[in-house]
Structure 1
Amino acid sequence: MEKERADNKTYLRIIYLISILIPLVVAFLIFFPSKLGIAGDWVKILPAVHATINSLTVFTLGAALVSVKKGNVGMHRSFMLASLFLGILFLISYILYHSSVDSVKFGDLNYDGELNESELLEVGTNRVVYLVILASHILLSILVVPFVLFAFYFALTGQIARHKKMVKFTYPVWMYVSITGVIVYFMIKPYYF
Structure 2
Amino acid sequence: MNNQEPLLDDKKYNKLIVILSIIIPIVVATLFRVKIPNVEPLSFLPPIYATINGLTAVILVLAFLAIKKKKIVLHENLMTTAIWCSVVFLVLYVAYHMTSDSTKFGGEGVIKYVYYFILLTHIVLSIAVIPFVLITYVRAITNNFEKHKKIARITFPLWLYVAVTGVIVYIMISPYYV
TM-score relative to the length of structure 1:
0.83
2:88 aligned residue: 89
Identify the residue that residue 171 of structure 1 maps to in structure 2.
Answer: 156
State yes or no: 1:76 paired with 2:75: yes
Q: How far did residue 56 of structure 1 move?
A: 0.5
- Gap runs ≥5 in structure 2: 1-7
Task: Report what 1:100 is aligned to.
Answer: 99
Which of the two has higher C-alpha Rg? Answer: 1
1:52-82 Cα offsets, whole Å, 9 max, x none, are 0011101110110110000110111111011
- SS of the residue corresponding to residue 105 of structure 1 reads coil
1:143 is matched by which residue type in structure 2?
A: A
Runs of 4+ aligned residues of structure 1 deviating over 6 Å after TM superposition are none
Q: What is the CA–CA distance in structure 2 between the aligned matches of 1:40 and 1:179, rounded to whole Å? A: 29
Matches within 5 A, 1:126-141: 126-141=111-126
> Match for residue 149 of structure 1?
134
* Equivalent residue in structure 2 for 1:159, among 144, 156, 164: 144
Name the % identity: 43
In 2, distance between residues paired with 1:26 and 1:127? 25
- Alignment RMSD (CA, Å): 1.7
Q: How does 1:1-80 map to 2 (within 5 A)?
A: 8-9=11-12, 11-30=13-32, 32=33, 35-37=35-37, 40-41=40-41, 43-80=42-79
More relative contact order, 1 or 2 (CA 8 Å, 6+ apart): 2
**Secondary structure of the residue that 1:102 maps to in structure 2?**
coil
Distance across 2 between alignment mates of 1:141 and 1:28 = 16
The one-letter code matched in structure 2 to 1:23 is P
Give, in angstroms, the shift of residue 13 of structure 1. 1.8
Letter of the 1:35 counterpart: K
| TM-score normalised by length of structure 2 | 0.90
When the two structures are aligned, how many residues end up with a matched partner?
171
Q: Distance in 1 between matches of 2:23 and 2:70?
A: 36
Q: Distance in 2 between matches of 1:166 and 1:101?
A: 37
Q: Could you tell me how far 1:38 is from its partner in structure 2?
A: 7.2
Query: Where does the alignment leave 5 or more consecutive residues of structure 1 unmatched?
Result: 108-121
